[in-house]
A and B are shown apart, each in its own frame.
Chain A
């Protein structure tokens, strides 16, 4: 119904559909063997070898979507990358049948094209990703006025306007140009890692890529468990960094955990950890006074003002409501602790860790090293805990960065 793969439309760093199918199979079988929630029955499903080919707005092949079926019923689909620039072999896995009809989508697009370009010659329909993850059917029309196209959304039949990634509303943009290419190097490196993993698994367990169903979950799980040692030997598992004292010759880790002395002193104890790091030593009661802490806790404006007043304005504290992983990592790399806010609670960040190896198609896991002043304890040296916290499992409400002042006080 839609156009197939054409060599002229393959992107740079292209991925062959057979390689993509291998990635899809490996991903699903690994999730099934690992008893990942939702994949319990997937060991008995078939992955159809012929994918739907999804194009980018720039005309190149972007994704292959493999249908997963149980008997005659579609039970899911796996979207894989057609280029290494996308960064990950498997992009998404969807559960359940497709919510749109190929036939209807094509009919609507043809009708729209005929209406807009009544005398033009129409191209075969392309399936395009016009605004990730939205899909549309694109038809080109060619006549004496040149070549023009129309895109009709597959789900609701609306006509897509081309506005570019920065436009608001019903925008369309090229995934390659706007999303993948700006991070080309990082994404290629990530895909190369996945390639290495695939090569190892392909060499040691070619049966995992066969079309036949696998029926022995224990056997498959054993394969992955026993091989993981081999993988570890080839690639370092994690990258990480923690705060250091004197980060030059023989640095040592440098951050001290303090418990909050009362149930409402989380921001206060966090400030004590951070201020101590900068050699501004105060009791928690002194900090609470400076930060106007009351029986409900401390608000962020007062925390910011407190860091600055207690350090005699030599530290600049900045409240940031758009806490991001890269920001936390940049602060730690610059050897600066950060206050991390989660709903109703404050903690200090003193390090980060990132997985260098992950299940094919999944994003590497990322953790922050959290110095959590909870559980509270009247003896600040008795409570609290140090935590590796999964960045993606937590609702981050804010950061407060604390840095040495580099400008004169106003």
Chain B
């Protein structure tokens, strides 16, 4: 059974309380931090993979807590630069930026927030369709975009 959004938020809140320590390299200045609404992260095969729960500190998204579908809290993350939203972009921004990269005979699928590779390597994935067939995957985050032929996974031999 995949963990519910509410349960993920609850686990994240507990983890935040347990891990927050002054001087800690990740949570050090999160004294009054709170958890936001969990965002579901899918794998490239469209299966739900884990919840990313934003950590809001002083009004900014300072980090995130990764809660696996099994209920395991896998990671507590501090971002180098707080993004506007935990996903870097929101879905409409991802779609808008993807639209700038397609030809006139191509259409876009719905943006999905995925991990491209291991959990933690998150990006928006927008599938590009041509004649109703997926042809390309565009991956986007706040810093830019990259592409691969649709259905192509990362090279297993390389990092």
Contact = CB atoms under 8 A, between A and B. Distances in A.
Contact of B74 (A259, A300, A383, A393): A393
A382 B121 contact: no
Interface stretch (B31-39, B91-99, B102-110, B136-144): B136-144
A346 B159 contact: yes
A112 B7 CA distance: 52
B122 to A, nearest CB: 7
Given A342-B118, A393-B72, A253 B143 contact: no
Interface stretch (A18-26, A305-313, A373-381): A373-381
B68 A375 contact: no
A395 B19 CA distance: 22
A220 to B, nearest CB: 16
B156 interface: yes
Contacts of A382: 80-81, 143
Interface in B1-48: 1, 3, 7, 18-19, 21, 25-27
B76 A344 contact: no
Contacts of B70: 37
B35 to A, nearest CB: 16
A298 interface: yes
A406 to B, nearest CB: 27
Tell me what chain B mostly uses at the interface: helix, strand, loop, or mixed.
loop
A378 B120 contact: no
B73 A390 contact: yes
Interface string A34-61: 0111000000000000000000000000
A298 B156 CA distance: 11
Interface in A332-368: 341-346, 350-351
Contacts of B19: 388
Given A297-B154, A378-B143, A382-B81, A344 B75 contact: no
Contact of A385 (B1, B74, B78, B146): B78
A351 B119 CA distance: 20
Interface string A218-247: 000000000000000000011000100000
Interface of A: 35-37, 237-238, 242, 253, 257, 259, 262-264, 266-267, 296-300, 303, 341-346, 350-351, 369-370, 372, 374-379, 381-390, 393-395
A-B pairs with lowest CB-CB distance, top 8: A297-B158, A393-B74, A344-B117, A377-B143, A296-B155, A344-B154, A346-B159, A342-B118
